Structure 1
Amino acid sequence: MKKTLLLTALLSATALGAQASELKIGLESDPDALDPDKSRTFVGRIVFTSLCDKLVDITPELSIVPQLATAWETSDDGKALTMTLRDGVTFHDGTPFNAEAVKANIERSKTFDESVRKSELSSIDTVEVVDALTVKFNLSASDATLLAQLADRAGMMMAPSALSPDFASNPVCSGPFTLTERVSQDKIVLDKFAGYWNADAILLERVTLVMIPDSTVRLANLQSGDIQIVNQLSATDAAAVEGNARLRFANITGLGYQGLTFNGANGDKSNNPLGQNAKLREAFDLSIDRDAINQVVFNGLFTPASQPFTPASPYYNPDFPVIKRDIEAAKAILAEAGVQTPVKVQVQVPNTPVTLQLMQVIQSMVAEAGFEVELVSKEFATLIADASVGDFQISQQGWSGRVDPDGNIFGFVTTDAGFNDGKYSNAEVDRLLREARTISDPAARAERYKAATAILAVDRPLIYLYHLGWLYGLDAKVQGLTLYPDGMLRLEGVSVTE
C-alpha cells in the first residue's frame, strides 16, 4: 500500500515540459466482443473504461460514486431505486443520454439472447422513465448488489441508436474516447471524444492498446519505449522494471482470483471423471501446492486461495482456509473411488507464457497423485467462447473481482447464471445466494455467503488457486495515474511527458 500511495503521489505531480498526445498500453490478450452485454473478458473491461461510461463508478477505496448518474435513493422497502442523471451528456454519435436511453439499455441487457448480464440485473422488474433526467428501477425484491452491478458492464450505457446484435463491430457509447480502429489480435485505437461531458479531465488525444500475449515481449516493448504501460506485468519481470531508472513498478491488491472450472453438465465434454465425481475433484485439489505456485510462478506477489473472497473480506469463511497439499490423501481418494490411474483429463489454458507455466506446474503436481493432464492452449477470447458452450473438461480461467461479494460468486455457481460454464446446480446454494442479494445487513449477508462456500467446498464446481495482484510496468513519463483494486485503467488526468 505504501508503494501504491508513493506511486500515486509521484505520478500525480504536474508534468514538466510538453505532453505527448498518445498513450500506448500493452495488453496481455485480445478482448472479446466490444459489447457490454456480451463481454466476459478482463481486458475488455479495460477498453470499456475508456469507451463506455457507467451509471456509477468506484473510488480507489471502493466507494460508489457518481458517473452518468449524479444522485440516487432507495425506497424504504428497498424495492425501488431512483436515479438522477447527468445533464448535457451525449453519445459518440451526438444523440442525447437521458432516461429513455437508460431504459433501452437495461431492457436490452435483460432480454438480449446473447446477454451475460441477465443474472446481474435479474432483480429489476421494470424501468420507469420519470422524466428526461430521472429513471426509476422497480425491483422484484430488495437488491443489495444492484449499485455495484451498475458500476460495471451492466451499468455501461450504449447509444440506443446503435443497439443491434452487431453493436460490437461499431460500439457507440458516451465515454471519453471513441473507437477509431480495431485489428484483431493486434491493436485497438481510441481517439478523444470532443463532446465528452468531462473533456477537460482528458489530456490524451489518442490511446492505443496493443495485444502482446508474451510477457517478455511486453517488457521489451516497455524498455524500448514502444509502449508506456504494461498491463499485467509478469511477476518475474518486476525486478527488471524496478532496476531501470526510466521505468517504474507499481502494484495493488486486487479483488479477484484465478482458478479451474470443471464441466459438470454442459454438453458431451462434461462426461469425464472429474466432471462427474466431486471426490475426484477433491483429490485433484489436494494434489496442488498453492504456496509453491505463488513462489515459483509469481515470486510470492500473489495470495494463495481456496474460496472467492480474500481473508481480509468479511465474507471469507475461516472454516475453509487455503488447502494444503496432501498427496497421500489424494491417492487414497483415488483408490477408494476405484478408478483406473492415471485419470486422464484435458485442461484448456490461455496461450500466455505465465498461464502456461502455471498449468505446467499444476500438471506436474497432480501427476504425482495419479492424474494425467493434457493441456490445450487457446487464445483467451476463444477459450471463453468455448467455455460458454461446454467445449471443455476443465478450464483455467479466473475473475477480476467486484466490489460487492455477489459479483465474485453468484454468476458462477447459481443455476443457469451467465458465467456458470460448467452448469453447476445446487438448490441450496441458489437459495442462499439469492437471499444474500436481498439483505443489506453485512453480518446477515455474511452468514449466507459462508454457508454457500461451505457447500461449494464439498462440491467443488470450481477450485480457486490464488487471489490476484495487479502488477504494472510504467514509463516514468506517465503522469497522473491512480491505481484501483478492480484493475481498471482510468485515464482522467493522465498524461505522457515528451
Structure 2
Amino acid sequence: MNASTSSPSVLARRSFLGLGLATGASLLLAACGGADVTAAGSGGNSGTLRWGWALPTSWDPVFSSAGWDVHMLSLVYAGLTRLDEQGKAVPALASAWTYAPDGTSVTFTLRPGLTFSDGTALDATAVKQSLDRGRTDPKSLVAPQLTHVKDVAAPDAGTVVLHLTQPDYQIPNLLAGKTGMIVNPRAFTADAAALATQPAGSGPFTLTSYTQNAKAVLKRNPSYWEAGSIKLENFELYPLPDAATVVAALQSGQYDVAQIPGSQVAAAKAAGLEVQVIPSLVVAVLDVNTTKAPFDNPDVVSALKYAIDRDALVKTQQFGYGEANYQPFPKGYVGYDPASADLYRYDPAKAKALLAQAGHPDGVDLTITTTSAQGLPEQLQDQLKQVGIRTTIEVVPVAQATQIVYVQHSKALFTDQFAGRDSAPQAFQVLFGEQGLMNPARTTPPELAAAVEKVSRTPLDSAEYPATLQAATALAVRTMPNVFLYSVPRILARRRSVSALPAATVVQRFEGVTAS
C-alpha cells in the first residue's frame, strides 16, 4: 500500500509476489447474455451496488498475487469454510467438520446439491481436484499454506478428508480464504490460463464482463449455497477512487460504496454520506532487512523502534482513525498480546543511547525506500532526525517494488502495510517465516518457529489457544526486526440508498446488503 494513504490497489501489489495484469481490452464472458446490469432483478432481489475499492491481480485464487484480492475473489468463489465477523471459521460449502483424535486428519461434510455457477456439480471429487491444484502446481502462491496436507481424499460424493503430515488445527481458517476457494475443475482442465480473467467458482456472484484495470460487472448467482442472503441483483467493482474526488464521485452516484482515507471522513459526512469505520487486520509496518547495514546491528534496529512517535503518525497520516500498534494484530483479535501493547513506546533518549551503544554516537545515515515520498516517509524522516538517524528517501515504482524489495532483497528499509491473513500462523509465515515475503532477511529464530508450530498444533477451541498464540506474538515482536506502526481500519463511505455493510474484520462481505 502507498505508505501515505490507505489504497488497497497499491497494497495489493506489495502483499504477495507478482505485479498484476497488464491493461487489456474489455472481456465479455459467457453468461453475460446482453442483459442490462442496472435493471431490477427478479425473485425479490433488485438493485446494483457500485463499489470503489480495487480490482484483483488475478481472478484465479491460486495465482492471485495480493493478500487484498481476497475481498474481490470472495464475490465469485466460495470455500469449505468462511470467517465470521470475529475471524472465526464457520461452515460454508461444508456444513461441518471433525478432526481425528490425534489431529492428523480433518473430515469435511459437504452440503447436498452444491453446484458451480455454470451448473457443474460441486462434489467431493471437485473439491479434491481444486485443493490438489493449489497444493501441487509449481507456481501456486497458496501452496506454502498447505504444506501440512499430505493428501486429499474423496471417499464419497459428500465427504472430503484432508490427511495431514502432523496435527494442524488451523486448516478450517486457512480454507476460509484464497487458499481454500474451490475452483471448477472443468475450467482449469480446459484452459487454466483463462481463469486470470474468467473466474469459475460458486460464490454469491458471477462475473459477466471485465475490463482489466477499469471495471468488473457481476450478477447474482442463484445457485450460491446461501443465495437467499444475497439481496443485490447486480454488482460493479472499480479501482480505488482518487482521494480528492471520491466524495464527489459518491455524491454523483458513480459509486455507491467506496473506501476513503481518514482525511475525507468529515467531507463525506458533510455531504450526507454514511461512514462506517470497520476494524481490520491491516497494519502499517516498516520492513527491515537485517542483512543490510546498519540494521545488521540489533541495537540499530531497536533504536529505530524507539525513535518513532506512532501516536503522531496516527494523528497525521490517519487523521486519528486507527491506533498506534507494536504488533501485527489489532486490539480485540485473539492474537493480540496485551503485554506488548506499549513495547516500543516513543523514547528518543533510549533511541540515542542504543545508537551510541551500536557504535554510532554521532548518529547514522540510512535510506527509506518507498513508493511515494510524501506523507509517511516525510514524517518518519523528521522524527528520525531528532535522534540522529539521518535519512534519504528513495522512491521506487509501485510496479517494481515487490521485485526490488522482496525478490532481490536489495533494500534495507521499506514502508509497507500488511493486510492480515485468515489464519494467525499464516500471518506469521508471511511476516517472519524463512520464506516469508515480508521478511527480506529470510531468517527466523528457532524459538519463534517452534512457537508458531505450537500454535498450529493447538485446537482453536481449546482454553490454551489464546495464550499460546499471544506467546508467539510476544516472541515475534521481540525477536524480529519488523517495525509495526499503527492499525489501519477499513473506512467505507456509502450513499444512503445502501444499507449498512457487515462489519467483518478480515473480508468484506455483502450478505443482507440492499441498494435501492
Please report the TM-score for the alignment, with normalisation by the length of structure 2.
Answer: 0.82
SS at match of 2:167: coil
The C-alpha deviation readout for 1:100-140, integer Å capped at 9, x for no partner, is 12112222222222323233222221111110111111112
How far the C-alpha of 1:347 sits from its partner, in A, is: 1.7
Which residue among 363, 377, 381 is the counterpart of 1:359? 377
Within the candidate set 80, 91, 112, 1:87 is matched to: 112
Deviates more, 1:307-316 or 1:433-442: 307-316
For residues 213 and 371 of structure 1, the distance between their equivalents in structure 2, rounded to whole angstroms, comes to 35
For structure 2, list consecutive stretches of 5 or more residues without a partner in the other structure. Answer: 1-43
2:386 paired with 1:368: yes
Equivalent in the alignment of 1:477: 497
Q: Output the CA distance in 1 between the equivalents of 2:294 and 2:55.
A: 32
CA distance in 1, matches of 2:377, 2:313: 10
1:399 aligns with 2:399: no
Give the equivalent residue in structure 2 for 1:13. none
Matching of residue 348 in structure 1 with residue 373 in structure 2: no
Q: Which residue of 2 aligns with 1:205?
A: 233
Deviation at 1:238, TM superposition (A): 1.3
Question: Equivalent residue for 2:283?
Answer: 257
Q: Distance in 2 between matches of 1:63 and 1:362?
A: 36
Q: Return the letter of the residue paired with 1:398.
A: Q
- CA shift in 2, pair 1:38/1:251, >3 Å: same
How many angstroms does 1:336 deviate by?
Answer: 3.0
1:348 to 1:249, Cα distance in 2 relative to 1, 3 A: same
Shift of 1:465: 0.9
For 2:244, what is the secondary structure of its paired residue? helix
Report the equivalent of 1:273: 294
Q: For the structure 1 residues 412 and 165, does the alpha-carbon distance in structure 2 shift closer, same or farther, using more than 3 Å as the test?
A: farther
Distance 1:316 1:201 in 2: 32
What's the counterpart of residue 167 of structure 2? 142
Q: Is the 8 A contact 1:348 1:392 kept in 2?
A: no
Counterpart secondary structure, 1:279:
helix
Measured in 2, the distance between the counterparts of 1:468 and 1:315 equals: 17
Percentage identity across paired residues of the two chains = 27
C-alpha offsets along residues 291-332 of structure 1, whole Å, 9 cap, x if unaligned?
111112223221111112334445433443332222232233
Q: Secondary structure at the match of 1:396?
A: strand
1:428 aligns with 2:433: no
For structure 1, which segment, 114-123 or 290-299, has the greater mean C-alpha deviation from structure 2 after superposition?
A: 114-123
Q: Once the 2 structures are TM-superposed, how far is the Cα of residue 382 of structure 1 from its aligned partner?
A: 5.0
Give, in whole Å, the separation in 2 of the partners of 1:321 and 1:201: 39
Contact 1:37 1:109 (8 Å CA) reproduced: yes
Instruction: Give the Cα separation in 2 of the matches to 1:375 and 1:181.
Output: 39
1:389 aligned to 396, 407, 421, which one? 407
Contact 1:284 1:371 in 2 (8 A): no
Give ranges in structure 1 of 5+ residues lacking alignment. 1-17, 265-269
Q: 1:219 to 1:65 in 2, by over 3 A?
A: same
Evaluate the alpha carbon distance shift between residue 335 and residue 45 of structure 1 in structure 2; reply closer, same or farther with a 3 A threshold: same
Q: Distance in 2 between matches of 1:237 and 1:260?
A: 25
Aligned letter for 1:362? L
Counterpart residue number, 2:18: none
Corresponding residue number in structure 2 for 1:185: 213
Q: How far apart are 1:249 and its partner, in Å?
A: 0.9
The Cα of 1:67 is off from its aligned counterpart by: 1.4
Q: 1:472: Cα distance to partner?
A: 1.0
Q: Which residue of 1 aligns with 2:345?
A: 324
The residue type paired with residue 335 of structure 1 is A
Deviates more, 1:308-317 or 1:249-258: 308-317
Whether 1:176 and 2:201 are equivalent positions in the alignment is: no
Equivalent residues in 2 for 1:109-128, closer than 5 Å = 109-128=134-153
Q: Distance in 2 between matches of 1:288 and 1:464?
A: 10
Instruction: Mark the CA change 1:30 to 1:50 in structure 2 (over 3 Å): closer, same or farther.
Output: closer
1:447 Cα deviation from its structure 2 partner: 4.9
SS at match of 2:79: coil
SS at match of 2:276: strand
| Amino acid in the other structure paired with 1:346 | I
What TM-score comes out, normalization by structure 1 length?
0.84
| Backbone CA RMSD of aligned residues | 2.8
